[in-house]
Every structure is written in C-alpha cells, then in structure tokens.
Amino acid sequence: MTTSALGQEPSVALRTEDFAVLAQARLEPAVWDFLSGGSGAERTLAGNLRAFDAVRLRPRILTGTAEPDTGVELFAHRWPVPFAIAPVACNRLLHPEGEVATVRGAGALGAVTIVPMLASRTLEDIRAAAGAPLWLQLFWTRDRALMTELVERAESAGYGALVITSDMPVMARRLRDLRNRFVIEPEFGPVNLGSAGVQVRGGEGESGVRAHAAKTFDPTATWRDLEWLRSTTRLPVIVKGVLTDRDAELAVRHGAQGVVVSNHGGRQLDGAQSSLTALREVTRALGGRVPVFVDGGVRRGVDVLVALAAGADAVLLGRAPMWGLAAAGERGVREVLALILEELREAMRLCGAATTADLGPDLLSWSAP
Ligand SMILES: Cc1cc2nc3c(=O)[nH]c(=O)nc-3n(C[C@H](O)[C@H](O)[C@H](O)COP(=O)(O)O)c2cc1C
Ligand SMILES: CCCCCCC(=O)C(=O)O
C-alpha cells in the first residue's frame, strides 16, 4: 500500500483541492495569498471555475473502450498526457528545490513544463533535472537584450519552444498582495535576469511584485515585437494571454506558431471572460491552423476532457500542481498530475472515448443540468 503526500492515509488525496489544504498549512499566509489570489474582486478567478462547473457531458456508450489513449501530437512530438505545467514565477516560494522539483515531478509523467522567465533556479539547473521537454516563458521586458540573452540560453540548453506572455502590460491590482505589501525575498526571487531580477519594495498600498513588474515589463509591446521575437529564434513562439478571436487571428498573422487562451488565472483583467468561454471563440477562429492551449480553472481530469472537447490541443495547469509542490515537493507535483491523469482516464472511459481525437464538441452540453 503506498501512501500519498498527504500522510499515512492514501485515501485522503481524492481531489487536487486536498493538496491545497496542505499547501496552505505549509505556506506563509502572504505567499498563500500570492498563489491563490486573483485581481480586483476576483470575479474572473471565480468565473474560470464556474465555467467548468456549468458544462455537462453527453457520453457515448458501448464503444468498447478499455484503455483510453491520453496522448496528443504537438509540434511533431508525442505528448503522453494532454497537459503541461503552466509558467508560475518563483517556485522556491513554495518549496526549497523550486523549479527543479517541479520538472522532476512533471517528468515522471512525461509532462512538459513551461519554465517561467522569473524562475528561482537557473535555466540550466532546471534543464539538468528535467525528465521531459521544457519550454521557456518570457515577458516583454523593457530591456530587449535581456530577452535575446534568455532566448539564446534556452536554445543552448535544449528548451523546445518559447511562450511569450502578452497579457501583462502592467500587473493588475491584486488586492491580497497590496494589503500584504507582498514582496519576494531575494533567496526566492528570479535568478535568471541579472540586475533586472532584483526585487523592489512597494510603498504604502503597493506590493513589491507590482512595483517590480512596473520597473521591468514593457507596456509598449505590439504585434510588431512578436515578429521581432520570431526573428531572433528558431524555436516555435507561442503567444500566451489570448482571449478573443480577433487577437488569435492577429497572433497567427504576426507569426505565432501557437496560442494559449488564458486570463492569467484571473490575475490580470478582472471581469475578463472565462478561459473556457474564450477557448470556444478562439478555436472557431483558428480552425486548427496552429495548436491552441488553454489554462485557467483546470482542477480535475474531467476539466481537461472538457477543454479538449471544446477544441484545445492541450491544457496548462497552474495552481493545481503548485499545491502539490508546496505540499510535498517533487512528489506532490507527481501525485497531483497522476491524480488528474487517473481522473481523465476514467472520464474518457465513461464517455466512450478511446483517444483524445474522439473528444469533440458533440460531447458537451452548455445548457444547465
Ligand atoms: C503564483 C502564480 C504565478 C504565476 N506566474 C506566472 C508567470 O511568471 N508567467 C506567466 O505567464 N503566468 C504566470 N502565472 C499564470 C499561469 O501561467 C496560468 O496562466 C494560471 O495559473 C492558470 O490558471 P490556474 O492557476 O487556475 O490553473 C502565474 C500564476 C500563479 C498562480
Ligand atoms: C516578480 C514579480 C512579478 C511576478 C509575476 C508573476 C505572474 O505572472 C503572476 O501572475 O504572479
């Protein structure tokens, strides 16, 4: 009998939220707020979850599905699982091993990790620990030389793609962080940015993270900068933060080789539509021209199934694996992902879907219960 990260009782960790309970117990309250909070009145944060709660399934029967195949094909690579770890800044806030533990846990399932530009371990150390492919996430920084330096390091270290987060011209007002005047202490902070990684303290009613973003991130970036970024690299460039059909179209026109439908986990524009709602308009607009990823509010395997059925090629997981990381490091990440995979497998069987290609809009009912 194996025990879970939650202690001696294997039956305790039945849902990812069980890991959140342990994570909260382990973390400083201000770090927990940073991890779990959203912006403004947290309407979009709540909306991401509500959108999944509202979908109902239209399963097929007697399809003879014993062992569903959860793999997907992306950029000429086969992913054994249709999810990846979303970029989450400064994993050392959550566990002393930081991103090294995250990629080890993800690697156990063959899951890609999107390493944040604001990682608290070096890109090279993370690469050395990884058991599955890594992608690098970037923000638009005022210092473009910093971006090109990171791109070169990612290419040399064997990262497989770049994800350019484009929904943070400014960091939104996250009220929990403002109240806590939350600042990331140097030992947990970004280590790949040189002097640009040095954290600043916020003044009255300001957080350190927001002050740092204001100092470092470039609010003037446009689609032309996307063309520039593409010209600097041979890696695929994926735009994160797309919420409308119009921007999805523009992203592809300006060279994006993939998009991430995301409202940043409800941490940027409060009131933005849910990522699941946005996914439907984006997949309709793009019609399969480039891979579409989605994140926001995915907490269980059936959410992954719903996102794939709504047209996503794969799903990114933000807070859920981070709860595992905070609860039990590498092991916690692995257990959260294994739980989501087990739930997905069960949901596929119960929907009569033998492969992820069998998951389509016919499975979904958008009208209430
Ligand atoms: C604590 C925290 C830090 C984050 N840091 C980043 C980041 O550095 N770069 C980025 O593109 N997104 C960042 N995100 C957003 C995630 O990549 C992702 O879009 C979001 O968490 C998905 O929602 P979910 O947490 O409901 O799964 C962060 C999210 C959280 C919760
Ligand atoms: C170190 C300051 C900026 C952290 C930004 C990370 C992020 O994207 C988030 O949502 O938080």
Residue 14 falls inside a structural domain:
no
122-30-165-273 Cα dihedral, nearest 10 degrees: 160
Question: Would you list the DSSP string of 169-186?
Answer: SS----HHHHHHT----G
pLDDT in tens, 145-201: 999 999 999 999 999 999 999 999 999 999 999 999 999 999 999 999 998 888 888
Phi, psi of 69 (to 5 degrees): -100, 115
**pLDDT at 267 (0 to 100):** 98
Q: Which atom of ligand 1 is nearest to the CA of 260?
A: 19
Residue 275 falls inside a structural domain:
yes
**pLDDT at 7 (0 to 100):** 59
Which of 32, 180, 264, 298 is the pocket-test mutation for ligand 1 (most atoms within 8 Å of CB)? 264
CA 217, CA 239: separation in Å to the nearest integer? 16
**pLDDT at 9 (0 to 100):** 47
Q: What separation in angstroms does the CA of 123 have from each of 4, 96, 170, 256, 350?
A: 30, 16, 25, 23, 40
Lowest mean pLDDT among 6-10, 237-241, 245-249: 6-10
**Could you say which ligand is closest to the alpha carbon of residue 240?**
1
Q: What separation in angstroms does the CA of 308 have from each of 95, 164, 177, 347, 350?
A: 31, 22, 33, 12, 15
Percent above pLDDT 70 for the chain: 97
Percent above pLDDT 90 for the chain: 93
Question: Would you list the DSSP string of 311-330?
Answer: T-SEEEE-HHHHHHHHHHHH
Q: Which one of 95, 212, 254, 264 is the catalytic residue?
A: 264
Which of 19, 50, 88 is the pocket-test mutation for ligand 1 (most atoms within 8 Å of CB)? 88
The question of whether 77 is a catalytic residue gets the answer no
Kindly state the tokens that stand for 246: 């119009």
Residue 12 falls inside a structural domain:
no
CA 40, CA 266: separation in Å to the nearest integer? 9
**pLDDT at 11 (0 to 100):** 46
Residue 119 falls inside a structural domain:
yes
**pLDDT at 1 (0 to 100):** 39
* DSSP symbol at 355: B
Ligand 2 centroid – CA 209 distance (Å): 7
pLDDT in tens, 102-148: 999 999 999 999 999 999 999 999 999 999 999 999 999 999 999 99
Instruction: Find the mean pLDDT for residues 3-9.
Output: 57
**pLDDT at 263 (0 to 100):** 99
One-letter amino acid at 113 equals T
Which domain covers residue 287, as residue numbers?
A: 3-7+19-365
- Spatial neighbors of 24 by CB under 8 A, at least 6 apart, are 32, 36
Q: How many domains does the chain have?
A: 1
Residue 210 falls inside a structural domain:
yes
CA 130, CA 32: separation in Å to the nearest integer? 26
Residue 13 falls inside a structural domain:
no
Residue 318 has pLDDT above 90, yes or no: yes
**pLDDT at 197 (0 to 100):** 87
**Could you say which ligand is closest to the alpha carbon of residue 137?**
1
Residue 234 has pLDDT above 60, yes or no: yes
Residue 244 falls inside a structural domain:
yes
By C-alpha distance, which of 362, 363, 359, 366 is closest to 82? 359
Kindly state the tokens that stand for 72: 């997907």
Kindly report the protein residue whose alpha carbon is nearest to atom 3 of ligand 2: 209
Which residues on neighbouring strands pair with residue 138, listed in sequence order?
164
One-letter amino acid at 352 equals G
Residue 90 falls inside a structural domain:
yes
Instruction: Find the mean pLDDT for residues 329-338.
Output: 98
Band (33; pLDDT cuts 50, 70, 90): very high
Lowest mean pLDDT among 11-20, 241-250, 251-260, 275-284: 11-20
Kindly report the protein residue whose alpha carbon is nearest to atom 5 of ligand 2: 89
Lowest mean pLDDT among 28-32, 45-49, 203-207, 270-274: 203-207
CATH number at residue 136: 3.20.20.70
**Could you say which ligand is closest to the alpha carbon of residue 184?**
2
Do the Cβ atoms of 237 and 162 come closer than 8 Å?
Answer: yes
